[in-house]
Amino acid sequence: MTIAIPVTIPLKKIQLNPGSIITIHDVNWEEFEAILEEREAEGIRTRITYSKGTLEIMSPLPAHERPHRIIGYIVTTILDVQERDWEDFGATTFKNKAKEVGLEPDTCFYIQNAQQVRDCLRMDLTVYPPPDLAIEADVTSVTTLDIYEVLEVPEVWVYTAEKFTINVLTDGKYVESNTSPTFPDLPILELIPDLVKKAFKQGSSKMLRELRKQMS
Protein backbone atom coordinates (compact mmCIF):
# COMPACT_ATOMS: atom_id res chain seq x y z
CA MET A 1 0.00 0.00 0.00
CA THR A 2 1.35 3.42 -0.97
CA ILE A 3 -0.12 6.62 0.47
CA ALA A 4 0.82 10.20 -0.43
CA ILE A 5 0.81 12.46 2.65
CA PRO A 6 2.03 15.94 3.47
CA VAL A 7 5.49 16.13 5.04
CA THR A 8 4.20 18.34 7.88
CA ILE A 9 2.79 15.34 9.77
CA PRO A 10 5.18 14.35 12.60
CA LEU A 11 6.78 10.99 11.92
CA LYS A 12 5.75 9.59 15.31
CA LYS A 13 2.07 10.14 14.40
CA ILE A 14 2.33 8.01 11.26
CA GLN A 15 1.03 4.50 12.00
CA LEU A 16 2.39 1.91 9.57
CA ASN A 17 1.19 -1.67 9.42
CA PRO A 18 3.93 -4.22 8.67
CA GLY A 19 4.49 -4.34 4.94
CA SER A 20 3.04 -0.87 4.33
CA ILE A 21 4.78 1.96 2.48
CA ILE A 22 4.17 5.68 2.77
CA THR A 23 5.34 7.96 -0.04
CA ILE A 24 5.94 11.63 0.76
CA HIS A 25 6.50 14.02 -2.13
CA ASP A 26 8.23 17.41 -2.29
CA VAL A 27 10.58 16.73 0.62
CA ASN A 28 13.70 18.91 0.51
CA TRP A 29 17.06 17.80 1.85
CA GLU A 30 16.70 19.65 5.16
CA GLU A 31 13.32 18.02 5.76
CA PHE A 32 14.79 14.62 4.91
CA GLU A 33 17.58 15.16 7.45
CA ALA A 34 15.03 16.29 10.05
CA ILE A 35 12.94 13.15 9.49
CA LEU A 36 16.03 10.96 9.97
CA GLU A 37 16.84 12.79 13.22
CA GLU A 38 13.25 12.49 14.49
CA ARG A 39 13.17 8.78 13.70
CA GLU A 40 16.43 8.24 15.59
CA ALA A 41 15.22 10.25 18.58
CA GLU A 42 11.87 8.43 18.71
CA GLY A 43 13.40 4.99 18.12
CA ILE A 44 11.05 4.34 15.20
CA ARG A 45 11.88 1.18 13.25
CA THR A 46 11.34 1.79 9.56
CA ARG A 47 13.34 1.66 6.31
CA ILE A 48 13.77 4.80 4.24
CA THR A 49 14.69 5.64 0.65
CA TYR A 50 14.99 9.19 -0.70
CA SER A 51 15.46 10.38 -4.25
CA LYS A 52 15.25 13.98 -5.42
CA GLY A 53 12.35 15.08 -3.26
CA THR A 54 10.47 11.78 -2.91
CA LEU A 55 10.68 9.95 0.40
CA GLU A 56 9.48 6.39 0.95
CA ILE A 57 9.03 4.97 4.44
CA MET A 58 8.50 1.22 4.76
CA SER A 59 7.64 -0.98 7.71
CA PRO A 60 9.11 -4.44 6.94
CA LEU A 61 7.30 -7.73 7.35
CA PRO A 62 9.05 -10.68 9.06
CA ALA A 63 8.92 -12.35 5.63
CA HIS A 64 11.02 -9.44 4.37
CA GLU A 65 13.46 -9.41 7.27
CA ARG A 66 14.35 -13.09 7.54
CA PRO A 67 15.78 -13.79 4.06
CA HIS A 68 18.27 -10.93 4.06
CA ARG A 69 19.42 -11.79 7.58
CA ILE A 70 19.96 -15.41 6.56
CA ILE A 71 21.88 -14.29 3.47
CA GLY A 72 24.00 -12.02 5.65
CA TYR A 73 24.87 -14.99 7.89
CA ILE A 74 25.83 -16.98 4.80
CA VAL A 75 28.10 -14.17 3.60
CA THR A 76 29.94 -13.86 6.91
CA THR A 77 30.30 -17.65 7.22
CA ILE A 78 31.91 -17.86 3.78
CA LEU A 79 34.18 -14.89 4.49
CA ASP A 80 35.27 -16.39 7.81
CA VAL A 81 36.08 -19.74 6.19
CA GLN A 82 38.06 -17.87 3.54
CA GLU A 83 39.79 -15.91 6.33
CA ARG A 84 38.81 -12.58 4.79
CA ASP A 85 38.12 -9.41 6.76
CA TRP A 86 34.63 -7.92 6.78
CA GLU A 87 32.54 -5.31 8.54
CA ASP A 88 28.75 -5.59 8.77
CA PHE A 89 27.00 -2.21 8.46
CA GLY A 90 23.44 -3.58 8.45
CA ALA A 91 20.81 -0.99 7.55
CA THR A 92 23.08 2.05 7.89
CA THR A 93 21.78 5.21 6.21
CA PHE A 94 23.86 6.12 3.16
CA LYS A 95 23.19 9.51 1.60
CA ASN A 96 24.60 11.93 -0.93
CA LYS A 97 23.49 15.54 -0.45
CA ALA A 98 24.90 16.78 -3.75
CA LYS A 99 22.89 14.20 -5.68
CA GLU A 100 19.87 14.30 -3.33
CA VAL A 101 19.61 10.59 -2.65
CA GLY A 102 19.67 8.35 0.39
CA LEU A 103 18.77 4.81 1.35
CA GLU A 104 19.18 2.09 3.92
CA PRO A 105 20.09 -1.38 2.63
CA ASP A 106 18.40 -4.36 4.18
CA THR A 107 21.98 -5.25 5.04
CA CYS A 108 25.41 -4.45 3.65
CA PHE A 109 29.08 -5.31 4.05
CA TYR A 110 32.48 -3.79 3.65
CA ILE A 111 34.87 -6.49 2.49
CA GLN A 112 37.53 -5.14 0.15
CA ASN A 113 37.31 -1.86 2.07
CA ALA A 114 36.84 -3.37 5.53
CA GLN A 115 39.96 -1.78 6.98
CA GLN A 116 38.92 1.69 5.83
CA VAL A 117 35.69 1.65 7.85
CA ARG A 118 36.84 -0.22 10.93
CA ASP A 119 36.70 2.92 13.07
CA CYS A 120 33.50 4.33 11.51
CA LEU A 121 30.76 5.19 14.03
CA ARG A 122 28.82 7.63 11.83
CA MET A 123 28.64 7.11 8.09
CA ASP A 124 29.77 9.98 5.85
CA LEU A 125 30.26 9.13 2.18
CA THR A 126 32.55 12.13 1.74
CA VAL A 127 34.94 10.36 4.13
CA TYR A 128 34.26 6.65 3.63
CA PRO A 129 33.62 4.57 0.49
CA PRO A 130 30.20 3.01 -0.19
CA PRO A 131 29.71 -0.60 0.95
CA ASP A 132 31.22 -3.30 -1.24
CA LEU A 133 28.12 -5.50 -1.13
CA ALA A 134 24.49 -4.62 -0.40
CA ILE A 135 21.69 -7.15 0.03
CA GLU A 136 18.00 -6.45 -0.55
CA ALA A 137 15.01 -8.75 -0.05
CA ASP A 138 11.78 -8.12 -1.94
CA VAL A 139 12.62 -4.61 -3.16
CA THR A 140 9.49 -2.49 -2.77
CA SER A 141 10.72 0.64 -4.54
CA VAL A 142 11.47 0.76 -8.25
CA THR A 143 13.99 3.52 -7.54
CA THR A 144 16.11 1.47 -5.13
CA LEU A 145 18.66 0.24 -7.68
CA ASP A 146 18.76 3.70 -9.24
CA ILE A 147 19.81 5.12 -5.87
CA TYR A 148 22.45 2.41 -5.45
CA GLU A 149 23.83 3.44 -8.85
CA VAL A 150 24.13 7.05 -7.70
CA LEU A 151 25.85 5.91 -4.49
CA GLU A 152 28.16 3.72 -6.62
CA VAL A 153 27.78 0.51 -4.63
CA PRO A 154 29.78 -2.07 -6.64
CA GLU A 155 27.52 -5.07 -6.07
CA VAL A 156 23.89 -5.49 -5.02
CA TRP A 157 22.12 -8.81 -4.43
CA VAL A 158 18.34 -8.83 -4.71
CA TYR A 159 16.45 -11.80 -3.27
CA THR A 160 12.76 -12.52 -3.83
CA ALA A 161 10.75 -15.71 -3.54
CA GLU A 162 10.72 -15.88 -7.34
CA LYS A 163 14.26 -14.82 -8.24
CA PHE A 164 17.72 -14.03 -6.94
CA THR A 165 19.91 -11.63 -8.90
CA ILE A 166 23.49 -10.40 -8.70
CA ASN A 167 23.74 -6.82 -9.94
CA VAL A 168 27.22 -5.55 -10.76
CA LEU A 169 27.94 -1.87 -11.35
CA THR A 170 29.36 -1.55 -14.87
CA ASP A 171 30.01 1.86 -16.42
CA GLY A 172 27.64 3.47 -13.93
CA LYS A 173 24.74 1.05 -14.50
CA TYR A 174 23.81 -2.28 -12.96
CA VAL A 175 24.12 -5.36 -15.11
CA GLU A 176 22.78 -8.72 -13.98
CA SER A 177 25.62 -11.22 -13.65
CA ASN A 178 25.89 -14.97 -13.29
CA THR A 179 28.90 -14.56 -10.99
CA SER A 180 29.69 -12.45 -7.96
CA PRO A 181 32.86 -10.31 -8.02
CA THR A 182 32.96 -10.71 -4.24
CA PHE A 183 32.97 -14.53 -4.50
CA PRO A 184 34.22 -15.25 -8.04
CA ASP A 185 35.02 -18.91 -7.34
CA LEU A 186 31.60 -19.83 -5.91
CA PRO A 187 28.29 -20.46 -7.72
CA ILE A 188 26.57 -17.73 -5.69
CA LEU A 189 23.59 -17.42 -8.07
CA GLU A 190 22.51 -20.99 -7.29
CA LEU A 191 24.04 -21.29 -3.83
CA ILE A 192 22.19 -18.47 -2.07
CA PRO A 193 18.60 -19.53 -2.96
CA ASP A 194 19.41 -23.16 -2.10
CA LEU A 195 20.86 -22.22 1.29
CA VAL A 196 17.95 -19.92 2.14
CA LYS A 197 15.54 -22.78 1.40
CA LYS A 198 17.60 -25.06 3.64
CA ALA A 199 17.51 -22.48 6.43
CA PHE A 200 13.72 -22.35 6.32
CA LYS A 201 13.49 -26.14 6.18
CA GLN A 202 16.04 -27.22 8.79
CA GLY A 203 16.92 -24.02 10.65
CA SER A 204 19.52 -21.33 10.02
CA SER A 205 22.06 -22.55 12.58
CA LYS A 206 22.11 -26.11 11.24
CA MET A 207 22.39 -24.87 7.65
CA LEU A 208 25.32 -22.61 8.58
CA ARG A 209 27.14 -25.38 10.48
CA GLU A 210 26.81 -27.68 7.46
CA LEU A 211 28.03 -24.90 5.13
CA ARG A 212 31.08 -24.29 7.29
CA LYS A 213 31.94 -28.01 7.34
CA GLN A 214 31.54 -28.29 3.56
CA MET A 215 33.83 -25.33 2.95
CA SER A 216 36.49 -26.16 5.53
In one-letter notation, the amino acid at residue 188 is I
Residue 130 to residue 28: CA distance in whole angstroms = 23
What is the domain-level CATH number for residue 174?
3.90.1570
pLDDT digits (tens, 9 = 90+) for 180-192: 999 999 999 999 9
Q: What is the mean pLDDT of residues 66-79?
A: 96
Same structural domain, 22 and 72: no
Instruction: Clarify whether residues 104 and 13 are in a common domain.
Output: no
Please report the pLDDT score of residue 140 as a whole number.
Answer: 54
List pLDDT tens digits, range 109-140.
999 999 999 999 999 999 999 999 999 987 55
74 with 156, same domain?
Answer: yes
| 108 and 79, same domain (yes or no) | yes
CB 130 within 8 A of CB 151: yes
Q: Specify the number of domains making up the chain.
A: 2
46 and 123 together in one domain: no
Are 54 and 70 part of one and the same domain? Answer: no
120 half-sphere exposure, CB direction, 13 A CA radius:
24
* Whether residues 42 and 107 fall in one domain: no
- Chain mean pLDDT for the chain: 88
Show which of 25, 42, 58 is a domain's final residue.
58
- 98 and 16 belong to one structural domain: no
Within this chain, do residues 40 and 115 fall inside the same structural domain, yes or no? no
Tell me, yes or no, whether 115 and 137 share the same domain.
Answer: yes
pLDDT digits (tens, 9 = 90+) for 14-39: 565 666 788 888 999 999 999 898 88
Whether 141 and 162 map to the same domain: the answer is: yes
Claim to verify: residue 35 and residue 70 sit in the same structural domain? no
Q: Please classify residue 178 by burial: count the beta carbons closer than 10 Å to its beta carbon, then call 0-12 exposed, 13-18 middle and 19+ buried.
A: exposed
Q: Which domain holds residue 22?
A: 2-58
